[in-house]
A and B are shown apart, each in its own frame.
Chain A
Amino acid sequence: MLNRETQVMLNQRTRIILALLVIIALTFTILDLRGGKGPFSSVRSVVSSAFGGVQVAASVIVSPITGVGSWWGTWGDQRARIAELESENATLQDALVRSAEDRARADALDQLLRVAGVGRYRIVPAEVIAVEPAQDFSWTVTIDAGRDDGLLTDMTVINGQGLIGRILSTTKTTATVVLIVDASSAVGARVAGTEEIGILSGTGRQDSLEFQTLDPLASLKPGQALVTFGSRSGRPYAPGIPIGEVAEVSGTAGQLSRIATVRPFADVSQLSIVGVVIRPPREDPRDSVLPSPPATTSDASALASPSPSGVDDGASPAPTASTKPKKEKAAKPVPSPTPSAGTAASGESN
Chain B
Amino acid sequence: MWIRQTVICASVIVLAVMLQLTLLSRLGLPGATPDLVVVCVVALALAYGPITGAVVGFAAGLILGFTPPAGGVIGIQALIFLVIGFLTGAVIDPRDRTVPVLMGLVGLSTGAATLAYALLIAGFGGKEVAWDAVPALVLTSSLYGLILAPVVVPTISWLVRRVTPEIAI
Contact = CB atoms under 8 A, between A and B. Distances in A.
A76 B136 CA distance: 14
Contacts of A33: 73, 124-126
A3 interface: yes
Given A29-B76, A33-B73, A3 B49 contact: yes
Interface stretch (B1-9, B25-33, B100-108, B156-164): B25-33
Interface in A62-76: 62, 65-66, 68-70, 72-76
A22 B68 contact: no
A62 B22 contact: yes
Interface residues of B, number: 36
Contacts of A43: 66
Contact of B27 (A21, A48, A72): A72
B22 A58 contact: yes
B69 to A, nearest CB: 9
A47 B65 CA distance: 10
Interface in A190-234: none
A17 B22 CA distance: 32
Interface string B16-36: 001101110011111000000
Contact of A22 (B50, B74, B82, B126): B82
B67 interface: yes
Given A21-B55, A22-B79, A66-B27, A29 B50 contact: no
A76 B30 CA distance: 8
Nearest to B17: A51
Given A25-B58, A28-B74, A66-B26, A14 B18 contact: no
Contacts of B143: none
Contacts of B28: 66, 69-70, 72-74
Interface in A12-40: 14, 17-18, 21-22, 24-33, 40
B124 A3 contact: no
Contact of B49 (A7, A52, A66): A7
B19 to A, nearest CB: 8
B75 A32 contact: yes
B26 A69 contact: yes
Interface string A73-86: 11110000000000
A329 interface: no
Main SS class of interface, A: helix
Contacts of A68: 27
A18 B82 CA distance: 8
Nearest to B74: A32
Contacts of B62: 25, 28
A65 B74 contact: no
B138 interface: no
Interface in B49-83: 49-51, 54-55, 58, 61-63, 65-68, 73-76, 78-79, 82
Contact of A3 (B21, B78, B169): B169
Contact of B75 (A7, A29, A66, A76): A29
Nearest to A75: B30
Contact of B66 (A44, A73, A76): A44
B18 A72 contact: no
B95 to A, nearest CB: 10
Nearest to B30: A76
Interface of B: 18-19, 21-23, 26-30, 49-51, 54-55, 58, 61-63, 65-68, 73-76, 78-79, 82, 86, 124-126, 167, 169
Interface of A: 3, 7, 10, 14, 17-18, 21-22, 24-33, 40, 43-44, 47-48, 51-52, 54-55, 58-59, 62, 65-66, 68-70, 72-76
Give 3 nearest A-B pairs by CB, closest first: A73-B28, A28-B75, A29-B75
